[in-house]
């Protein structure tokens, strides 16, 4: 049982309860805004509460970096049957929300009872103020995310204990991510240890520290935690967290508003630079060039750089060689999907930090059914806790299994042919070849992946797997499945391929 393991004992302890208070406050505010009648409040307060509920859900469906970049300063300005007007702080955010996140926003608005003929985005006055300030202070550079010190995201605890820190020195950091509330297991212990080491002696040992791995497995959490520790140890240090997407956006803005020198200076004078999802730099030559210089300046000055990505440097397409070699010049760590025991410990720890003690069978149910993404696991847990709290129920297996629609992600109608087709399409080879006689490496590996998928998704027997792929000998299937299983543990790009195929299958 999970709670009898050393992991659970460690993370179910008093240390966690300390964080429980913060989480409780956050969660309460979220639950209140989600479910309670807001009678007696002003219209603006109701709108704010509604919007916080919407943001709370959006935060669960986008990456932390994206959330901070695109949603942090937003507000609900107006809503009627005719239109919903969302306030944003600049025109780039407006464009991105319209073009990229329109669907997600509409869906979550509707879930929260906000339906209208159209959704509009309006730049609010803080942007006008900002432009004015921009003009006045040509040399001063204020990154967009730090400028509107207004809305605290639904996922963030109140920032009351920021002490005397200026916003810009804590840019992008969210106190909710700490090393203490990160659950350590076999899949992430190396990354955790390296992060710890970096906080003890920044800029010396592992520089840069490059952490890569799939989606929702805790990379941003660790990166943010490093930032929080560095700021706690040295409150005057300029610790900058930025997602590469945001860096790109700021770069474009800086070019447009002729603030390149200030932009460059801002990042080149950091004491520590934490860059999330660096893969977004792929194919952007000018940005690679700027980032290269930033990197060199900081590195030469022994300033700590920590980078995360969804794949190792060698697999990031169109990455300049000089950057690739810089990224490889320190310590690279492959983070993996947490195993069952760690997932149990995470669920238990998160539940306890919400003030709830779940039965083992509920913890295990969640950890069994949501395997690949801790963000999803957390979302499912939050959903369960919110559901039970509102109704005054104790979470149990029946409620959990009713609420988490496992069949949604594992439809039974999936056929072997669909899996093979999808795998072939992923590797851009014809169906006839993957099931055909050719033994070229380009075909053999996809074929092995297809066998692995058939085994994992459909639990087919080895003889059946062999037959589906046109092989006579079932030992080929045994070896293939075993090989992919082993290699996926150490090869992030293979894991990505598998999870992409899986995502398409269940989309
Ligand atoms: P990634 O950046 O790898 O996509 P995140 O760091 O955003 O993933 O993690 C997704 C969610 O899962 C976050 O809320 C994070 O706190 C949580 N999480 C992931 N791994 C752990 C862990 N080992 N312990 C505690 N929480 C975790
Ligand atoms: Mg992330």
> Is 339 close to ligand 1, i.e. is its CB under 6 Å away?
no
Cα 63 to ligand 2 centre (Å): 5
Bridge-based pairing of strands 331-334 and 209-212 is parallel
> Is 374 close to ligand 1, i.e. is its CB under 6 Å away?
yes
Cα 415 to ligand 1 centre (Å): 32
Cα 65 to ligand 2 centre (Å): 7
Nearest CA to ligand 1 atom 6: 218
> Is 19 close to ligand 1, i.e. is its CB under 6 Å away?
no
Helix, strand, coil in percent for the chain, rounding step 5? 60, 10, 30
Cα 182 to ligand 1 centre (Å): 8
Residue to probe by mutation, ligand 1, list 19, 218, 354, 378, most atoms within 8 Å of CB: 218
> Is 346 close to ligand 1, i.e. is its CB under 6 Å away?
yes
pLDDT in tens, the chain (507 residues): 344 433 333 333 333 333 334 333 333 333 333 333 334 456 666 778 788 888 888 877 777 667 777 788 899 998 888 999 999 876 557 767 887 788 889 888 887 788 888 999 887 754 433 333 333 333 446 665 443 222 222 233 333 333 333 343 456 788 889 999 999 999 999 999 999 999 999 998 899 999 999 989 999 999 999 999 999 999 889 999 999 988 988 898 898 888 999 999 999 999 999 999 999 998 888 999 999 999 999 999 999 999 999 999 999 988 889 999 999 999 999 999 999 999 999 999 999 988 889 999 999 999 998 888 898 898 889 888 888 887 788 999 888 888 776 445 555 578 999 999 999 998 889 999 999 999 988 899 999 999 999 988 887 888 889 999 999 888 899 899 989 988 876 776 777 778 778 778 876
Neighbours of 305 (CB within 10 A): 24
Nearest CA to ligand 1 atom 11: 375
- The per-residue pLDDT for range 493-504, each reduced to its tens digit, is 777 778 778 778
Cα 378 to ligand 1 centre (Å): 9
Q: Pseudo-torsion of CA 310, 316, 319, 325, nearest 10°?
A: 80
pTM of the predicted model as reported, rounded to 2 decimal places? 0.56
Stretch (H or E) spanning 49: helix 43-61
Cα 134 to ligand 1 centre (Å): 36
> Is 216 close to ligand 1, i.e. is its CB under 6 Å away?
yes
Separation between Cα atoms, residue 26 and residue 4, nearest integer Å: 29
> Is 274 close to ligand 1, i.e. is its CB under 6 Å away?
no
Cα 49 to ligand 2 centre (Å): 26
Contacts 24+ apart (CB under 8 A), 245-250: 245/65, 245/66, 245/69, 245/277, 245/280, 246/65, 246/68, 246/69, 246/144, 246/145, 246/172, 247/275, 247/281, 247/287, 247/291, 248/280, 248/281, 248/284, 248/287, 249/69, 249/92, 249/144, 250/143, 250/144
| Ligand approaching nearest to the C-alpha of 26 | 1
| Ligand approaching nearest to the C-alpha of 221 | 1
Q: pLDDT at position 172, please?
A: 79
Closest atom of ligand 1 to CA, residue 276: 2
Separation between Cα atoms, residue 42 and residue 318, nearest integer Å: 52
> Is 188 close to ligand 1, i.e. is its CB under 6 Å away?
yes
Residue to probe by mutation, ligand 1, list 221, 308, 492, most atoms within 8 Å of CB: 221
Residue to probe by mutation, ligand 1, list 374, 376, 381, 499, most atoms within 8 Å of CB: 374
Nearest CA to ligand 1 atom 5: 218
Neighbours of 14 (CB within 10 A): 7
- Phi then psi for residue 8, to 5 deg, are -70, -35
For residue 67, give the nearest of 199, 177, 203 by alpha carbon. 177
For residue 250, give the nearest of 101, 122, 147 by alpha carbon. 147
């Amino acid at each position: 049982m999970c709670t009898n393991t050393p992991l659970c004992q460690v993370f179910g302890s008093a240390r966690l309860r300390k964080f429980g208070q913060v989480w409780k406050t956050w969660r309460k505010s979220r639950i209140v805004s989600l479910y309670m009648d807001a009678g007696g409040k002003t219209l603006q307060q109701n709108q704010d509460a509604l919007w916080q509920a919407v943001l709370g859900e959006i935060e669960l469906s986008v990456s932390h970096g994206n959330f901070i970049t695109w949603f942090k300063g937003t507000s609900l300005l107006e809503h009627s049957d005719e239109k919903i007007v969302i306030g944003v702080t600049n025109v780039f955010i407006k464009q991105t929300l319209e073009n990229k996140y329109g669907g997600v926003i509409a869906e979550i608005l509707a879930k929260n009872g906000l339906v209208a003929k159209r959704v509009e985005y309006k730049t609010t006055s803080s942007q006008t103020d900002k432009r004015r300030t921009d003009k006045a202070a040509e040399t001063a550079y204020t990154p967009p995310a730090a400028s509107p010190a207004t809305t605290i995201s639904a996922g963030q605890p109140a920032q009351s204990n920021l002490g005397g820190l200026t916003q810009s020195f804590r840019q992008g950091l969210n106190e909710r991510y700490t090393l203490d509330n990160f659950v350590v297991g076999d899949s992430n212990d190396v990354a955790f240890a390296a992060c710890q080491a970096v906080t003890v002696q920044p800029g010396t040992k592992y520089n840069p520290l490059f952490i890569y791995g799939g989606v929702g497995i805790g990379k941003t959490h660790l990166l943010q935690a490093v930032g929080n520790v560095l700021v706690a140890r040295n409150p005057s240090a300029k610790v900058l967290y930025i997602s590469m997407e945001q860096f790109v956006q700021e770069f474009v803005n800086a070019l447009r508003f002729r603030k390149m020198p200030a932009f460059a200076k801002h990042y080149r004078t950091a004491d520590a630079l934490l860059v999330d999802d660096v893969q977004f730099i792929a194919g952007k030559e000018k940005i690679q060039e700027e980032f290269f210089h930033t990197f060199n300046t900081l590195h030469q000055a022994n300033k700590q750089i920590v980078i995360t990505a969804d794949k190792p440097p060698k697999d990031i397409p169109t990455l300049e060689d000089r950057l690739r070699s810089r990224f490889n010049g320190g310590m690279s760590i492959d983070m993996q999907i947490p195993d069952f025991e760690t997932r149990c410990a995470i669920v238990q720890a998160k539940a306890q930090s919400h003030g709830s003690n779940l039965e083992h069978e509920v913890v295990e149910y969640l950890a069994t059914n949501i395997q690949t993404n801790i963000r999803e696991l957390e979302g499912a847990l939050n959903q369960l806790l919110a559901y039970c709290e509102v109704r005054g129920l104790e979470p149990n297996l029946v409620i959990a299994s009713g609420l988490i629609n496992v069949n949604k992600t594992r439809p039974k109608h999936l056929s072997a042919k669909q899996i093979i087709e999808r795998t072939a399409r992923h590797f851009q080879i014809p169906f006839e070849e993957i099931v055909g006689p050719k033994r070229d490496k380009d075909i053999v590996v996809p074929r092995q992946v297809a066998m692995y998928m058939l085994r994992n998704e459909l639990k087919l027997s080895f003889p059946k797997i062999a037959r589906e792929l046109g092989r006579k000998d079932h030992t080929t299937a045994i070896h293939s499945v075993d090989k992919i299983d082993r290699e996926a543990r150490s090869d992030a790009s293979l894991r990505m391929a598998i999870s992409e195929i899986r995502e398409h299958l269940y989309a």
